[in-house]
Amino acid sequence: MNELTPRFRRLAGLASGASVGLVVLYWAALRFLGEDFWISGALLYAPHLILLLVLGVVALPLLLFGPRRLLLVQAGAAALVLFEVMGLVLSGPAPQTPGAPRMRVLTFNAGSGRRSVAELVRELAAAQPDLVLLQESEPHVNDAVAAALPGFHTLTSTQFFIASEYPLSDLVEPPKIPLGDAERSPRFVRVTVDTPLGKLDVFNIHPISPRDALEAVRGAVRGGGSDDRADISSNTELRRRQAQAIAQMARASAHPVVIAGDTNLPQLSRILADSLGQWQDAFAAVGRGFGYTFPVGRRFAWMRIDRILAGPELRFLRVGTGAQRGSDHYLLWADVERPPR
């Protein structure tokens, strides 16, 4: 065994270098290419936990045979995966400013009510929100939520439902987005809410899902032709234009902005950074953990795509996610205040 130890050490060192190189390459592809390249765009939506498993497997022979100093390199690569790729947040709640008004915003992709509407409504009501924003909702879901929140003002537009303890006005349904020979839905609405924080321009958003693009990626991997790659490009470009349209209207808003909904944009999305990165993210600001909200119903959720964003006039205090399975998403809520200037 002693004769084999130097060989094991060399092999362990090579494996360490390869695994760390893989992690750095993976992170760089997602961070700098993102949706601009179809492979990295697909990997944005993959479970990244496998990278930690690879690093752990390589760490074992390093621990047994050395060189153990490389364990520090493995640990650094693991930190890169945890924080930059998987989105681990250690911020935690913020103290409320004395005398500052606050409210609780809740967003929930209702999944068309295909699962348990009763469970969905029960968890939503238990969160005690002041403002509810539903995406992918249906009339029977809207009616059930409205019944659970007596006295709330409500508005409906296509897939979007808004329920507010405070008055709602000026619902804006933005114009269609041209893409190729067609005009596509912008998949968001804006409403003004007259809250104790003052009037807020609130955006309920749901850019198009990458599901069709991911199916096209599978086709391309199996040897599909230009049609698959064209589908990927079209799906990505539509999501980009929808995010840009949200950002353009938000920047032109007359009041402080809240943007909430199922963004379909994961942690390292270039579209998220380029279009919506100027607004503060509730979970990044005051969250703790991963805050994953999708997919619910499988072994574990691995994406944080449901978000609550806000402009600089507002300040997040607390944030939380749901735990029930009334939808294929977990709900997300955040407490927000408006500090005096």
pLDDT tens for each residue of 183-225: 999 999 999 999 999 999 999 999 999 987 787 776 666 665 5
Strands 306-310 vs 315-321: parallel, antiparallel or unpaired: unpaired
Where does residue 123 rank: exposed (0-12), middle (13-18), buried (19+ CB within 10 A)? buried
Q: Which residues 6+ apart lie within 8 Å of 265 measured at CB?
A: 207, 239, 243, 271, 272, 276, 305, 307
What residue type is 231 in one-letter code? D
Residue 310 contacts residue 282 (beta carbons within 8 Å): yes
Which pTM was predicted? 0.94
Domains and CATH numbers, the chain: 5-85 (no CATH), 102-337 (3.60.10.10)
Residue 276 contacts residue 94 (beta carbons within 8 Å): no
Give the Å distances, CA to CA, from 233 to 32, 214, 259, 262.
17, 11, 26, 21
- For the chain, residues with pLDDT lower than 50 are 1, 3-4
pLDDT of 1 reads 46
289 has which bridge partners? 89
pLDDT of 211 reads 86
pLDDT of 297 reads 84
Rounded to 5 degrees, what are φ and ψ at 98? -55, 130
Within 10 Å of residue 247's Cβ, how many Cβ atoms?
18
Give the Å distances, CA to CA, from 278 to 4, 40, 158, 274.
55, 23, 28, 8
